[in-house]
Amino acid sequence: MPVDAAIRKIVPRPARHRLDHVGHLHPVMQRIYQSRGIDTEAELDYSLANLPSPWLLTGIEEMTAHLVAAIRQRQKILIVADFDADGATSCAVALQGLKLLGAAAVDFIVPCRFKYGYGLTPEIVNLLQQRQPQVLITVDNGISSIDGVRLAKSLGMTVLITDHHLPGDALPAADAIVNPNLPDDRFPGGALAGVGVIFYVLMALRGRLREQGWFQEHQIGEPNLGQLLDYVALGTVADVVPLDYTNRILVQQGLLRIRADRCHPGIKALIEVANRNAANLTSADLGFALAPRLNAAGRLENMALGIACLVAGDAREAARIARQLDDLNKERREIEGQMKIEALSLLDELQAFDVQHLSAGVCLYDKNWHQGVIGILASRIKDRLHRPVVAFAPADNGEIKGSARSITGVHIRDVLSDIAAVHPKLLSKFGGHAMAAGLTLQMHDYPAFVLAFDEMVGRQLQHLDLEQKIFSDGELSAEDISLQIAEQLRLAGPWGQEFPEPVFDGVFDVLQSRIVGQHHLKLVLRLPFNDMLIDAIAFYLERPEQWLGVRQIRAVYQLDINEYQGKRSVQLILQYLEKIT
């Protein structure tokens, strides 16, 4: 969140539930959990035993039957992965997990997003045919790959789809499909990321192999699939899926393994290159430090590099690849920064910052933009405007590709579906979630899409309160701005989408302020009428100099711990600032 963006309304989170029998919890923690819908202390028990059964997933019986046959018959299995962090971690889980369970021949392919597009397309099927696979397993894709599945089946391949994206009106004719968002699926909630879906498939497969005596028969030690949970945690957080109870269990268990130094060399290498401490890693570190470095491979080159890092067998190889990913991420940031400047210039030309001229749905295109970065760009502009945004970049054959990001209350995939229904020839393809989607159309259809998108989004915005708000967990007293509370907050997660990390608000006197690293602002604060000094920092300000000399601010902040030269102290991470005097 840009802390020096337009003024926003600070709104206290309502206490939606009463949390009983938790007298041992600090009142601040009770307040936080109540506002996140927690009813009982049992909902804070993130033991693996509390995971829902994999047998509740539609299609799991057919899926495991085909996989058991593939393992027993030593068939060649090829994993078809997506090119983002969820796809990469899903691929790593499938690769490592199937090998642990006794699969003899497992390989993967991750299509170049710029050449072959998304999903199991016919072009990808023709490409992978050279490897002569007998079984295809899609991870984090495939639910919309009707033509590709048809071609693969005609070539004699068994096709197994694991995905979590929303299905269209028709499903591909695969041999088995596991997707918690299928109609009438009994699994509690459809919030699993792609990596969570394949992990669940492996759990069911292990159970079926155990029943059949596979491990005893072949003298294979039954594997602990928990060793894959560091991958599952990273992919789940990176894909920004809702952290419902199931996902919180998966993420928390993955974090516990990482903190205990029981993670894979690739995960450890990403942590080190991001300058994070594995011993106290949080879900925010997964989302904002590790995931961007992993995603950089898919955005700028080929996610095969990211997968190679994840499954690297030794620390030296993992560290080498992680450094490459870090370099790619630096390049990605530079490209994104330039694209953001250009996008804001376009918005100025469109008078987009004048509310009277602001479109309901904003579309942006530049012939020089990079396909791999338009998703991040759309997200940044969406945060600034508080409107759904689609950013487009040129593709091949006269097409342009768009990446859409939305706001709460506007289901972006449904918007695209409505556009396709009214204008059936406008979109070449589309798919996605409530908050993010991708689409392809012809360049000459861009003006028509801009009008259609604005119209469809406008219908939904009529019923929404568009005032930009920041939800706060209230004020903290001087006594609660402490290492004890900061430590509890750090360990109390995992925090994430729809289970947000706690933030607080308050008025502070500014005793010192200085610019560090060009775009960051370091401050020394105190609560009015209190002598305690509090360190604070605001990252990535666009105009940090405007805050020099300010004497009093209202701030929304995270309570954090600064560790420097072996000393630990409280630090406020400022998310939003308002000048008072």
What is the mean pLDDT of each successive set of 10 residues along the chain, which is 581 residues long? 62 77 80 90 93 97 98 97 94 98 94 75 91 97 94 97 92 97 90 97 98 94 96 96 96 98 98 95 96 91 92 96 96 90 81 64 93 90 90 93 92 93 91 86 96 93 83 95 94 92 97 92 95 94 91 96 87 95 89
Q: CA–CA distance from 425 to each of 176, 361, 513 (Å)?
A: 31, 20, 56
Tokens of 94: 């499938």
**Beta bridge partners of residue 441, listed in sequence order:** 400
Q: Rounded to an integer, what distance in angstroms lies between the CA atom of residue 109 and that of residue 112? A: 9
Domains of the chain: 9-36+471-579 (2.40.50.460), 51-261 (3.90.1640.30), 350-461 (3.10.310.30)
Indicate the burial class of 266 (C-beta count within 10 angstroms; 0-12, 13-18, 19 or more). buried
Residue owning tokens 């949970």: 229
Per-residue exposure over 104-117, b if at least 16 CB sit within 10 Å of its own CB, e if not: eebebbbbebbebb
Q: Return the SS3 of 408.
A: coil
Q: What is the pLDDT of residue 1?
A: 43
Supply the DSSP symbol for 544: G
The closest alpha carbon to 368, from 359, 377, 360, belongs to: 377
Side chain identity at residue 77, one-letter code: I
Considering only CA atoms, which of 204, 385, 355, 371 is closest in space to residue 301? Answer: 371
How far apart CA 6 and CA 139 sit, in angstroms, is 40
Q: Are 192 and 228 in contact (CB under 8 A)?
A: no
**Bond preceding residue 2 cis, omega within 30 of 0:** no
Beta bridge partners of 556: 505, 576
DSSP category for residue 496: B
Confidence at residue 302, expressed as pLDDT on a 0 to 100 scale: 84
How many residues belong to the chain? 581
CB of 459 closer than 8 Å to CB of 438: no
In angstroms, rounded to a whole number, what is the distance separating the alpha carbons of residues 303 and 476?
Answer: 43
Cis peptide before 494 (omega within 30 of 0): yes
Q: For residues 210 and 222, is the Cβ–Cβ distance under 8 A?
A: yes
- Distance from the first to the final alpha carbon of the chain: 23
Pairwise CA distance, residues 437 & 411, whole Å: 10
